[in-house]
Amino acid sequence: MLQPIYLICVDNRTRNIYILAGYDQEIEFQILPNGELSGEPN
């Protein structure tokens, strides 16, 4: 299941990585500094 990635952003305050992906940009999640996923899948 390959999906295009539209945005990757690092929050310098929390050091979280935010990712926006999917053909309709419907996949949105963040990766915490410890490697865990955060956020609700859409």
Give the span between the Cα atoms of 15 and 4, in whole angstroms.
23
Number of domains in the chain: 1
How far is CA 6 from each of CA 25, 30, 33, 34, rounded to the nearest angstrom?
A: 7, 14, 21, 23
Question: Phi, psi (5° rounding) for residue 25?
Answer: 55, 40
pLDDT at 40: 57
- Give per-residue pLDDT as tens, 1-42: 799 999 999 999 999 999 999 999 999 999 999 999 986 555
pLDDT at 22: 92
DSSP 1-42: ----EEEEEE-TTT--EEEEESTTS-EEEEE-TTS-EES---
Q: So what's the pLDDT on residue 1?
A: 79
How far is Cα 31 from Cα 17, in angstroms, rounded to an integer? 5
In terms of residue numbers, what domain contains 26?
5-38
Q: What is the pLDDT of residue 28?
A: 92
